[in-house]
Amino acid sequence: MNQVAIVTGTSSGIGLATALALAKAGQVVIATVRDERGKASVLEQAALAGVHLDVRRLDVTNDASVAAVVSGVLADHGRIDVLVNNAGLGHRGTLEQLTLAEMASSMDVNFWGVARMTQAVLPGMRTARRGRIVTVTSMNGLIAMPFSDAYNAAKFAVEGLMEGLAPVMAAFGVHVSVIEPGPVRTSFFSNMTGKVGATDQEDPYAAMMGRYNDALAAAMKGGGETPEGVAAVILEAVTSDAPRFRYQSSPAASAMAARKIIDVTGQSIVHATRALLG
């Protein structure tokens, strides 16, 4: 029996690659996007890949939009077997540079959006005593990077939410997993909001941010993961007979996670991220 899967944030990058990978694997995929332009683009990519995607508009920050999509999928397909929480938005700035409204906006997309979607599908999965919740959290959910304070906070919160949820839902046959990619070659960085550039020379953080931006650019030139590589890991979490709670999507990301887990003082991580500031 083919699984019915909802994937959020499929306009590009990891979400699009995941929707295509699941469809190629025989899943019935509901690919969600925020606007009509994104819908047209996803349908075009699906046609090029030779797969069918059921593309629907969804705003994960809107309760009514979430409820409408979930109830619509249940009405059309009878069940939801898989939810891939991928929709997210980066935000740049250290705490002093941020407004509380900016922090709240980041939390609304990156944390509350995940909570809304997950809460909406859980009753059906719990009743059916089966299901998969797979959430893309980023390595920022495990290792906080400089000038990403609001994004770090949201991703750390998502990791805590899912880690607490996992043992409870396992009792009902519902598996919960998180995916922790390292830097991925997508439009994520170009779509980022907040203090993206170091243009205000009166800002006391400007020079440091400039060096940090240069360090990130150099790191991305040297490689980075591909959306298709991350999608392959998500497919594993969705289809495995014994899914793990935590997946990194590359050896480099696994090495970073291991460094965090074995360093109970946190000093090695602070030293490593401080080096990015020059």
* Residues that are catalytic: 151
Report d(CA 231, CA 152) in Å as an integer.
Answer: 22
Lookup: tokens for 27: 């899943």
**CA-to-CA dists, residue 181 to 75, 93, 229, 248, 256, angstroms:** 34, 21, 10, 6, 11
Q: For residue 74, what are the contacts with CB-CB under 8 A and spacing of at least 6?
A: 80, 124
Q: Determine the Cα angle at 45 with ends 8 and 69, to 5°.
A: 30
**CA-to-CA dists, residue 235 to 70, 84, 179, angstroms:** 21, 10, 11
Report d(CA 169, CA 157) in Å as an integer.
Answer: 18
Report d(CA 185, CA 144) in Å as an integer.
Answer: 19
In sequence order, the β-bridge partners of residue 250 are: none
